[in-house]
Amino acid sequence: MKIALINENSQNSKNPMIEAALKKVVEPMGHTVFNYGMYADADSKPLTYVQNGILAAVLLNSGAADYVVTGCGTGEGAMLACNSFPGVLCGHVADPLDAYTFAQVNDGNAVAIPFALKNGWGQELNLEYTFEKLFGFGSGNGYPAERVEPEQRNKKILDGVRAVTMRPLVDVLGEIDQDLVRGALAGEHFQEYFFANATDEAIIAKVKEILGL
C-alpha cells in the first residue's frame, strides 16, 4: 500500500517525527510511505488544512496513494477538508482506539490526527501505537463481533450515498480557486512522487494543466 503523509503549516516542525513513527510501523508490514510535506525546513512550501484536503483528494483519486495520513492542530479542519472531496473518507483519529475502530467499522482511506494535542512526552509513542492499530489488523472487518454484519452493510450504504452526492474530482479541481490548488500541488517532491505513481489519466492530465506542464 502507498501511504501519503501530509502536514499543514502549524505542525510542520513535527513532520520528521511523524514520518519516522509512520515508517517504523508500516514499512515492516510491506507498505511504502511518501512524505508530501509540508516539511520542517523554513523553505518548505506551505500547506493549509484546506490544501491538505485538496492534495489528499488528488492523490487518492489518481491512484498515487492508497491511504492518506494527515492532520492539523486539532485534526478537525483537515478532516472536514478531506471529507469535502469525492473519493476521500477521512476519520478523526486521536489515539489507538480511534484508529482501530475507524479502520474496522468505517473502512476509510484517510485519517486526520490532532498533532498539537497531547504533544508532550510520549507523543511519538502514541503515534506508533495509533499506526499499529490503523494498519496492522486489516480494515472493514466490523466491530464488535455482534455488529459485523450491520456495520459492513452501513458502510456500503454510505458508499452508495457518497457516489450520488459527490461530483467527479476533475470537475471540482477546475472550479476551485486555481492559486489555492496550485499551492496544494507545489510541494518539493509532489511531481516526483505523483507522476511516478498516479494511474488515472484524466486526473494526471488535469494536474499537468493546472501546473502548466
Q: How many domains does the chain have?
A: 1
State the pLDDT at residue 122: 87
Task: Enter the pTM of the model.
Answer: 0.95
State the pLDDT at residue 120: 82
Between 49-62 and 201-211, two packed helices, what is the crossing angle to 10 degrees?
A: 140
Three cell numbers, residue 75: 485534526
Residue 169 sits in a domain whose CATH number is 3.40.1400.10
State the pLDDT at residue 110: 98
Please compute the mean of the pLDDT values over residues 196-202 and round it to a whole number.
98
For 178, the domain range is 2-211
User: Among residues of the chain, what percentage have pLDDT more than 90?
Assistant: 92
Report phi then psi at 151, rounded to 5. Answer: -65, -45
Distances (CA, A) of 129 to 10, 84, 171, 180: 23, 28, 38, 34
Residue type, 145: A
* pLDDT, tens digit, 9 for 90 and up, residues 140-162: 999 998 998 998 999 999 999 99
User: Among residues of the chain, what percentage have pLDDT more than 70?
Assistant: 100
Please compute the mean of the pLDDT values over residues 158-176 and round it to a whole number.
94
Whether 66 contacts 109, CB under 8 Å: yes
Q: How far apart are CA 204 and CA 100, in angstroms?
A: 33
- Average pLDDT across the chain, whole number: 96
